[in-house]
């Protein structure tokens, strides 16, 4: 998994409407990039709704939220519409970006071992450097932790 201080790998993926979105589109702004396992599952829905709750506060701090999973764009569109999510959902079906950030890892569930997306988040500064790595985050707490970190980061800068 990438660490604080690493350069964020650049990427271009399709959003829920099929439009290409690149990390470089956000140069000059902070970005919260979070990876999640699957649309419309209980934990992923709670995490998305928490980001929705804090979205305006994050935007006031010049921070964009981008969520990535391996789900297809039509799944993202349904998920986004169902919960009126205000942020970008990107589809990474080949999990290339998920792997580049180190969020594709071995998982164990009921004794079964498989590879999958680890719920994690990265905060990227205006120049494309990771200023905070958050591995194995909790869906209910992640958005508030991100908001508090960005507020503190801004105060100390």
The pLDDT tens digits for 22-77 are 999 999 999 999 999 999 999 999 999 999 999 999 999 999 999 999 999 999 99
> Tell me: the pLDDT tens digits for 68-91?
999 999 999 999 999 999 999 999
Pick the closest to residue 103 from 91, 92, 117 (CA basis): 117
Domains of the chain by range and CATH?
A: 25-155 (3.40.30.10)
- List C-alpha distances in Å: 66 to 8, 69, 88, 96, 102: 13, 10, 5, 16, 16
> Tell me: the pLDDT tens digits for 81-126?
999 999 999 999 999 999 999 999 998 878 889 999 999 999 999 9
Tokens 């494309």 identify what position?
128
Q: If you ran DSSP here, which 8-state letter would residue 131 be given?
A: E
From 44, 88, 103, 124, the catalytic residue: 44
Instruction: Look up 33 and say whether it is catalytic.
Output: no
């Amino acid at each position: 998994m990438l660490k604080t201080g690493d350069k964020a790998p650049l990427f271009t993926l399709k959003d829920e409407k099929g439009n290409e979105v690149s990390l470089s589109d956000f140069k000059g702004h902070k970005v919260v990039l979070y990876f999640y396992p699957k649309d419309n599952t209980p934990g992923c829905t709670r995490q998305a709704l928490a980001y929705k709750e804090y979205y305006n506060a994050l935007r006031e701090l010049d921070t964009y939220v981008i969520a990535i999973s391996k789900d297809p764009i039509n799944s993202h569109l349904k998920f986004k519409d169902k919960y009126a999510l205000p942020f970008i959902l990107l589809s990474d079906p080949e999990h290339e970006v998920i792997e580049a950030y180190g969020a594709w890892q071995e998982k164990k569930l009921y004794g079964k071992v498989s590879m999958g997306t680890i719920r994690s988040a990265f905060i990227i500064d205006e120049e494309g450097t990771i200023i905070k790595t958050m591995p194995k985050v909790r869906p209910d707490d992640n958005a508030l932790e991100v908001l508090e970190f960005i507020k503190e980061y801004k105060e100390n800068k």
